[in-house]
Amino acid sequence: MNRVRIVIFNAALGPLDYRVPQGMQVEPGSVVVAPLGPRQITGIVWEAERLPAAEVPDAKLRPLIGVLPVAPLKAQLRRLVEWTADYYCAPLASVARMVLASGGALKGPATMTEYRLTDHEPDRMTPQRLRAMDALQGEQATIRELSELAGVSDGVLRGLVSQGVLEPVEVDCDRPYPRAQPDFAVPDLNDSQQHAADRFIEAMQKGGFAPFLLDGVTGSGKTEVYFEAISEALAKDRQVLVLLPEIALTEAFLRRFENRFGSSPVVWHSSLKSTERRRAWRAIATPPAKGGAQVVVGARSALFLPYANLGLIVVDEAHEVSFKQDEGVRYNARDVAVMRARFEEIPAILASATPALESLQMAESGIYEKIELASRFGGATMPEISTLDLRETPPERGRWLAPPLVKEMEARLERSEQSLLFLNRRGYAPLTLCRHCGYRFQCPNCSAWLVEHRLSSRLACHHCGYETQPPATCPECGTEDCLVACGPGVERIADEVREIMPQARVALVTSDTLNSPEKAAEFVQLAEERLVDVIVGTQLVTKGFHFPELTLVGVVDADLGLEGGDLRAAERTYQQVAQVAGRAGRGSKPGEVLIQTRHPEAAVIAALAAGDRDAFYDAETEARRHAGAPPFGRWAAIIVSSEDEAEARNAARAIGGTAPHLPDVAVLGPAPAPMSLLRGRYRYRLLINARRSAQVQNVIREWLGALDFPRSVRVSIDIDPYSF
Ligand code: ADP
Ligand code: ZN
């Protein structure tokens, strides 16, 4: 009897057993099609031998339908999937699904049909057709994608196809990517860069798991150094995965990569078109020696792809919060990257100027090898950082920039140097209220204020995407023209700069304005050619950019991140300010940083101003040790949600009421979660603080496994949570 157990992509169902029909070749990792009720489903063969006694007797097993023509997933990758599911308490199915990138990459053929506009006119114009034709200028994609883009039905588009207004284009998803050359433009490294590169290359030649923390100040040339490790992998026909925290950073990365290696790497992120995704997936599953992908640059989801011959993983800006996924499978890509390197037995490089305390601790305890780059490349000096006490030199009424900062900006403008203002708040104002009755605009689905976006004349929720037009009258008291914007967002700061320095050319950099690779490239070009005097931006401008003429950085509100006092507030503030400060003085001219604050005495701010990184990390280490927080203890969160507030509360209480009493695990709560209403669901939270040695996942699994809730209640587990 040939029985296999397959993992299917339905989190509600566990692995299922099937019979392998005569003559069908399957092995662990094979991707197969199987019957489920009346449907056909895709799954991955997980176990094929030594299966434990099964619930379903042999005679009742249904046979597999077929095997898909892709290489079976390797044991290393299956182990990574198992580890991730186990560590993060997530269903195996949900993790396995990420490997197949939602299945889309596999099922279809190597060729797909996309459509694009021709210059034919339809015989009869309808409003729908007009809308579609307007929206699809310059686009080429599958019918399904075009219909989403244009907001019309497939039927409308098919009509346009039959009239020759849209024409089919066959896309070959197996066409190879251009080859990168290991020695296209080899740089001269300085001594400490050379030492770092040598260590990476030695580790790659030796083989085996080797985790590195590349701890180098901003502008020290970390990228340049890990490029040498990539060069070694290219020469050996091994694949490299580079994880970046932000798609917006990809554009600048691609250009540097091209300059060094003569062609672009393969890009992977969630908004690829289906043809691009299929092409990338197939290339990744093919060894470079056979024309497959060499280097993949991607968002965190690139971690679970079936690399044919992975030789190196790099996580750039490894401290970034965006590596933590907070939906679906709640994992931290930085940590999973290291685990993948371990299973693949290859080196992993975590690069950062402001490493997470957890990473530093791993280096301290000898698990990671720490490699330091202590100074900037090419004689550039670190910027001079000082605080601006807003209580002593307040901005004028209705303004947010204090006079000393404005004075420095004006001096820069006179010398044709650039300034950068950082405020981590999109939009114009974080809160809008009625000056007559005090009514505040709140999201109907979330416990959050609506943020005014003046550029797009919208009030928007940054949590669920709800948007509405600012009304002419107050919805509460009916007064006309009564709305007042409270507090600043970057749009408002940009307006202020335009008012006080009308001759300055201002660039606003947020995910609202830099929302495509083209726009990102355009901004970088303008800034590099010095056609921009003042850059105003959110955290998007804190990393990666290298503008030699930028000599002044102003932090508009350093206290913002410290409010709320969550576990990582101090660390995040430190990282953001240190990163954005790192944009100043990267060329031959020295940089200066002014931090606006009401709490210059706060430990983080004082350490930043003193340029004393160790002081910050030491203080933070002590605080964490005292609190039993990571890396000394562990946190986990259980989030209970329902559309019905009482139901959520009761479920959370039921969980709290059965909390285990263990010496090394403390349970706090339940209490309303910080976002107590999110996307229409009421949320309660329990926090679990455990000693490092505690088997906290097992405790949670056993505890929750004994409880049963209605389907309308969602219980999610967040191991090593970030946002609390
Ligand atoms: P980091 O990532 O550490 O902030 P980068 O790798 O961006 O630093 O390097 C900062 C700047 O210095 C970049 O413009 C980079 O091209 C340049 N640079 C660094 N190392 C070298 C080198 N060995 N040769 C030439 N340019 C270098
Ligand atoms: Zn909302």
- Triad 117, 119, 124: Cα angle to 5°: 90
User: Residue 180's closest CA among 225, 235, 221, 137?
Assistant: 235
Q: Could you tell me the two tokens for 636?
A: 């986990």
CA–CA separation, 445 and 441 (whole Å): 12
Name the pLDDT band for 689 (thresholds 50, 70, 90): very high
| Residue 724 pLDDT | 59
In a mutational test of the pocket of ligand 1, which residue from 214, 218, 223 has the highest number of ligand atoms less than 8 Å from its CB? Answer: 223
Give me the mean pLDDT over the 612-631 stretch. Answer: 91
Give backbone dihedrals phi and psi of 289, rounded to 5 degrees, phi first. -65, -25
Question: Residue 9: how many CA atoms within 13 Å on its side-chain side?
Answer: 18
- For residue 345, CA distances in Å to 255, 309, 581 come to 30, 11, 37
Q: Is 220 in the pocket of ligand 1 (CB under 6 A)?
A: yes
| Residue 516 pLDDT | 78
Q: Are the C-beta atoms of residues 639 and 683 closer than 8 Å to each other?
A: yes
CA–CA separation, 333 and 325 (whole Å): 8
Q: Is 224 in the pocket of ligand 1 (CB under 6 A)?
A: yes
For 164-213, give the secondary structure using H, E and C.
CCEEEEEEECCCCCCCCCCCCCCCCCCHHHHHHHHHHHHHHHHCCCEEEE
Residue 225: its H or E element: helix 222-235
Q: Say how many C-beta atoms besides its own lie within 10 A of residue 660's C-beta.
A: 11
Is the pLDDT assigned to residue 103 strictly greater than 70?
no
Is the pLDDT assigned to residue 76 strictly greater than 80?
yes
CA of 223 from ligand 1 middle (Å) equals 7
CA–CA separation, 512 and 541 (whole Å): 13
Q: Could you tell me the two tokens for 716?
A: 């999610």
| Residue 110 pLDDT | 81
Longest dimension (CA), the chain: 85
Give me the mean pLDDT over the 6-14 stretch. Answer: 83
- Is 141 in a helix, a strand, or coil? strand
Least confident range from 153-157, 545-549, 654-658, 664-668: namely 545-549
| Residue 270 pLDDT | 82
ipTM topping 0.90: yes
CA–CA separation, 146 and 132 (whole Å): 8
Is the pLDDT assigned to residue 105 strictly greater than 60?
no
Is the pLDDT assigned to residue 248 strictly greater than 90?
no
Q: Say how many C-beta atoms besides its own lie within 10 A of residue 709's C-beta.
A: 16
Q: Are the C-beta atoms of residues 509 and 537 closer than 8 Å to each other?
A: yes
Is the pLDDT assigned to residue 107 strictly greater than 70?
no
Contacts of residue 637, Cβ cutoff 8 Å, sequence gap at least 6? 685, 686, 687, 688, 717, 718, 721, 724
CA–CA separation, 656 and 618 (whole Å): 35
CA of 442 from ligand 2 middle (Å) equals 8
CA–CA separation, 722 and 724 (whole Å): 6
| Residue 50 pLDDT | 63
CA of 220 from ligand 1 middle (Å) equals 6
Please give the sequence-ordered ranges of beta strands (E in DSSP) within 450-521, or none if there are none: 451-453, 458-460, 467-468, 483-486, 506-509
Give me the mean pLDDT over the 628-643 stretch. Answer: 94
C-alpha Rg value of the chain to the nearest Å? 27
Contacts of residue 273, Cβ cutoff 8 Å, sequence gap at least 6? 114, 141, 142, 145
DSSP, res 276: H
Write out pLDDT tens, residues 477-504.
Answer: 988 888 999 999 999 999 999 999 999 9
Name the pLDDT band for 10 (thresholds 50, 70, 90): confident
* Residue 114: alpha-carbon gap to chain centroid: 29
* Smallest-distance ligand from the CA of 446: 2
Q: Is 189 in the pocket of ligand 1 (CB under 6 A)?
A: yes
Give me the mean pLDDT over the 227-238 stretch. Answer: 97
* Burial zone of 284 (CB within 10 Å; 0-12 exposed, 13-18 middle, 19+ buried): buried
Q: Is 193 in the pocket of ligand 1 (CB under 6 A)?
A: yes
Q: Could you tell me the two tokens for 10?
A: 């339905």
CA of 583 from ligand 1 middle (Å) equals 13
* Burial zone of 644 (CB within 10 Å; 0-12 exposed, 13-18 middle, 19+ buried): middle
Q: Could you tell me the two tokens for 30?
A: 């094979």
Helices (H), 529-612: 569-581, 603-610
Is the pLDDT assigned to residue 92 strictly greater than 80?
yes
Atom of ligand 1 at shortest distance to CA of 373?
3
CA–CA separation, 572 and 255 (whole Å): 29
The end-to-end CA distance of the chain, in Å, is 51
User: Residue 533's closest CA among 547, 516, 520, 519?
Assistant: 547
Give backbone dihedrals phi and psi of 673, rounded to 5 degrees, phi first. -65, 160
CA of 433 from ligand 2 middle (Å) equals 17
CA–CA separation, 194 and 181 (whole Å): 20
User: Could you give the angle at which helices 569-581 and 603-610 cross, rounded to 10 degrees?
Assistant: 20
Atom of ligand 1 at shortest distance to CA of 217?
3
Q: Are the C-beta atoms of residues 485 and 435 closer than 8 Å to each other?
A: no
Q: Say how many C-beta atoms besides its own lie within 10 A of residue 326's C-beta.
A: 14
* Smallest-distance ligand from the CA of 681: 2
| Residue 394 pLDDT | 95
In a mutational test of the pocket of ligand 1, which residue from 192, 224, 352, 542 has the highest number of ligand atoms less than 8 Å from its CB? Answer: 224
> Residue 207 — left, alpha, or beta (φ > 0 → left; ψ -120 to 50 → alpha)?
left
CA of 187 from ligand 1 middle (Å) equals 10
Name the pLDDT band for 54 (thresholds 50, 70, 90): low
CA of 469 from ligand 2 middle (Å) equals 15
- List 39's β-bridge partners, or say none: 36
DSSP 618-634: HHHHHHHHHHT-TTTEE
* Smallest-distance ligand from the CA of 463: 2
CA–CA separation, 250 and 299 (whole Å): 9
Name the pLDDT band for 519 (thresholds 50, 70, 90): confident
Give me the mean pLDDT over the 307-316 stretch. Answer: 97
Count the helix, strand and coil residues of the chain and give each as a percent rounded to the nearest 5: 35, 25, 40
Give me the mean pLDDT over the 26-41 stretch. Answer: 92
Is the pLDDT assigned to residue 546 strictly greater than 60?
yes
Q: Could you tell me the two tokens for 188?
A: 């001269």
* Smallest-distance ligand from the CA of 252: 1
Least confident range from 48-57, 267-276, 288-297, 515-524: namely 48-57
Is the pLDDT assigned to residue 396 strictly greater than 60?
yes
For 606-634, give one letter per residue: b (16+ CB within 10 A) or e: bbbbeeeeeebbebbbeebeeeebbbebb
| Residue 271 pLDDT | 83
| Residue 545 pLDDT | 82
Q: Residue 51 is which amino acid?
A: L
Q: Could you tell me the two tokens for 189?
A: 């490294």
Q: Could you tell me the two tokens for 567?
A: 């576990």
Q: Residue 279 is which amino acid?
A: R
Evaluated on CA atoms 486, 490, 494, 497, the torsion sign reads positive
Residue 47: its H or E element: strand 39-47
